[in-house]
Structure 1
Amino acid sequence: MRESIPSDLKDVNFPVPIHYLDLASGHIDAVSPPLSDGLVVFLSDGLPVGQAYVEKPEAAAALAERAVRPDTLEHIARVAQTPLRNRDVSILICTKDRPEELRRCLASIPEQSLRPVAIIVVDNASSGDQTRRVAEEAGATYVREDRVGLDFARNAAVRAAKTEFVAFTDDDVVLHRQWLENLMKAFDRPEIACVTGLVLPGELATPAQFIFEKHWSFGRGYLRQDFDQDFYRLHRRYGAPVWTIGAGASQAFRREVFDAIGLFDVRLDMGAAGCSGDSEYWNRLLHHGHVCRYEPTAVSWHFHRKDMKGLAKQIYQYMSGHIAALLVQYQHTGNGGNLRRVLVSFPKYYIGRLRRRFRKGATSNDFFLKQEMLGSVNGALYVLRRWKMRAW
């Protein structure tokens, strides 16, 4: 794929800076001249509480007033006062042939305000032994899983864990020092089976990273959200949009739910259907009456793919996995809304986007429209082939 960028990014200067401004330090009022570009993330008590992209010069104080909500600040204060009762937790990291990224991720774990009982690194068929050496140097338990696929690796990690809770992150993630503590504080009711966290961009150095963050971001905002039976029933006609619950790069579970409703579905692996094993699992949890919670004070940073070719492949896999997950969700739950989303909503959605692209040309929002559509078709065909094979 030719390394080009969408027309609406021609005037963007890369790398795009990410400014972190502390509301309590008095620095906000002192910022001069006005901020003129980049992503601004506001902090309170060391935690992100709001963000905004600067599109024209604007004073930091005015930007903060627009970006930071009072209820977010109140929530952070409540979390700080919440006693920590859940300490029996392991951190699980699945990785393949990325020893330096893994080393960076593992380096953020000793700084955690809540130290995990165990750190388990699952090596998903890496070549060589660098991954093993990096894991063992960090004091992590090393597990080898030779069946290639993220959900094979996740399932191996769950089997290896002996703690009451398990927390997943990825090798291309760096953890805020309160990430694990605040994930665990969020399990304050027995019906909460899963908690996800806020994921911010580690950098915006290239057009590919900027496009991903603007249109495919892992971030879900700065307000706590509970996804319960009301959410599941409200969206039943077209299937619950479970992908809004969070990101697989930052999620924790009660270990017992895997014994109750099964492990991750390996049909949704990268390289098979695509991905989306996490969102399918959240859907399964809701179907069985559990609650999933998004907790914005559990913060981490993800380093997105830097090149456009890699991003194109990733988006193809995302959409392949997304459509496959909807079909698998239908198989697991019998909820016809998932089929209705595939057969009705998505065709209408893409027809509308194609029309806009023909009228206005390719912007960053639809620069990878071809990969989205082909990935969607691949995901549907993959699951249908598997169903046909089972029928025979």
Structure 2
Amino acid sequence: MSIIPNRLANVLEADLRKTLGVAGCAGVRHVDLDIQVAPEDCDAGMIVLWRGRLPVGHLLRGSDGHCRVTPIAAAQDSRPSPPVLNLPSASVVICTRDRPNELRRCLSSLPQQSFPPAEVIVVDNASRGDETREVALAAGAIYLREDRPGLDIARNRGAERASSAIVAYTDDDVLLHPHWLEQLVAAFDRPSIGAVTGLVLPAEIATEAQRHFETFWSFGQGYAPQVFRAADFAASKHEVFPAWKIGAGASMAFRSEVFDRVGLFDERLDVGQAGCSGDSEYWYRLLANGYDCHYQPSSVAFHFHRRTMEGLAKQIYSYMRGHSAALLVQHERTGVKANLKQAFKWKPLWYLSRVRRTLLGRRVPEDRFLWQEIAGYISGLLFYIRTRRE
């Protein structure tokens, strides 16, 4: 992996080599703007721009062939949180099922953390063999077995076991930057913040499926910190609050107190149940209960997107299945009627316009999985109807 030639002592290169190591980063190049000029055009894949240890922008050759350039974050917008000084303790929870090799790779990035977790908890969500347990114990993690399938069920088991003031979550198909946890925990810089999310970048763009995902379904939410305020949520209840823009479940943390005050994750949502959106529904619920949410892109994780089109098609189906179910769960839990309008009026009209465009021969690259999206969306509504609560 050649990141910055002839500068082996460079801080950025050292950090990324620690993180990505032998996994490499095919199709993704990292450039330090402190010592290099920003490229004027895309490579075949993605170029992530850094200043020191901070990501500030990227260039991406999209699946439609166009070069997408994100605005470079201003220096004042990309400052990291203060260094480790009296930070609260943090537990890291990783939920996994039948992916021992991915889990091993993820766990390998935790000993490199500048702020060590007080404990690492691996929740084995009904794996079929013993290898997950062996990998977790070999890494010195706390191993929990949860036989009920469902990512939110596993997340809840981890939250109940965690003993720290902060509970951080990541996924087994992720590698963590050495300052990931430090920056995530430091972003709890005021009592009103109940949740923090970080920037999730692609670990590789080696296939057409990975390029398509990063082009149209990226986990990244930009390179400038954002605070999503409960007051803004309360003032816009006539509209659907886009909680999915707060971050990604692959990199998120919560004050442990919120689980007592707001409840646990809704076990009808996310992988193994509705398919997705257990994280965004929980952020939505925090906002509805007076907590702010903080997106902090100086906390960086690297995600391995699905490599095949078949796998991506199934993922997108699940995403929309979970999204529509989450809209109805959000209405059920908060009474905000805008969720019903979004679920049964505005979203169907949006899909109708895309179908019409396709039938008129004006299909665009983002519609490649349109029928999987629609099928998943309808399935999510039906799933909620079967599982709704009074």
CA contact (8 A) 1:40 1:53 kept: yes
Find the partner of 2:76 among 64, 71, 74.
74
Measured after TM superposition, the shift of residue 143 of structure 1 is 0.4
Measured after TM superposition, the shift of residue 82 of structure 1 is 5.2
Gap change, CA 1:357 and 1:108, over 3 Å in 2:
same
Measured after TM superposition, the shift of residue 54 of structure 1 is 4.9
Measured after TM superposition, the shift of residue 153 of structure 1 is 0.5
**Structure 2 partner of 1:6:** none
Measured after TM superposition, the shift of residue 34 of structure 1 is 6.7
Measured after TM superposition, the shift of residue 232 of structure 1 is 1.2
TM-score (norm 2): 0.88
CA contact (8 A) 1:172 1:303 kept: yes
Measured after TM superposition, the shift of residue 235 of structure 1 is 3.8
**Structure 1 partner of 2:28:** 18
After superposition, residues 189-204 of structure 1 pair within 5 angstroms as 189-204=190-205
After superposition, residues 1-392 of structure 1 pair within 5 angstroms as 17-25=27-35, 27-28=36-37, 36-54=43-61, 67-70=71-74, 73-77=75-79, 79=81, 81=82, 84-387=85-388
CA contact (8 A) 2:205 2:211 kept: yes
Deviation per CA, 1:64-93, whole angstroms, max 9, x where unpaired? 9x74232xx2244452x4553323101100
Cα RMSD for the two superposed structures: 2.2
User: How many pairs were matched up?
Assistant: 364
Distance across 2 between alignment mates of 1:17 and 1:227? 33
Distance across 2 between alignment mates of 1:170 and 1:321? 18
Deviation per CA, 1:260-283, whole angstroms, max 9, x where unpaired? 111111111323222211111001
- Which runs of 4 or more aligned residues in structure 1 lie more than 4 Å from their structure 2 counterparts after TM superposition? 33-36, 54-58
SS in 1 for 2:244: helix
Identical residues among aligned pairs (%): 49
CA contact (8 A) 1:330 1:338 kept: yes
Deviation per CA, 1:47-75, whole angstroms, max 9, x where unpaired? 211112258999xxxx99x74232xx224
Measured after TM superposition, the shift of residue 256 of structure 1 is 0.8
Distance across 1 between alignment mates of 2:172 and 2:26? 23
CA contact (8 A) 2:126 2:145 kept: yes
Structure 1, unmatched stretches of 5+, are: 1-14
Measured after TM superposition, the shift of residue 35 of structure 1 is 5.4
CA contact (8 A) 1:84 1:184 kept: no
SS in 2 for 1:299: strand
CA contact (8 A) 2:98 2:128 kept: yes
SS in 1 for 2:366: coil
Distance across 2 between alignment mates of 1:282 and 1:164? 18
CA contact (8 A) 1:37 1:57 kept: no
Structure 2, unmatched stretches of 5+, are: 1-24
Deviation per CA, 1:137-170, whole angstroms, max 9, x where unpaired? 1110000000011011001100110111010000
Gap change, CA 1:258 and 1:274, over 3 Å in 2:
same
SS in 2 for 1:382: helix
Gap change, CA 1:280 and 1:54, over 3 Å in 2:
closer
CA contact (8 A) 1:16 1:39 kept: no
Gap change, CA 1:35 and 1:224, over 3 Å in 2:
closer
Measured after TM superposition, the shift of residue 43 of structure 1 is 1.1
Deviation per CA, 1:181-231, whole angstroms, max 9, x where unpaired? 000110010010000000001111111111111111100000111111243
SS in 1 for 2:360: helix
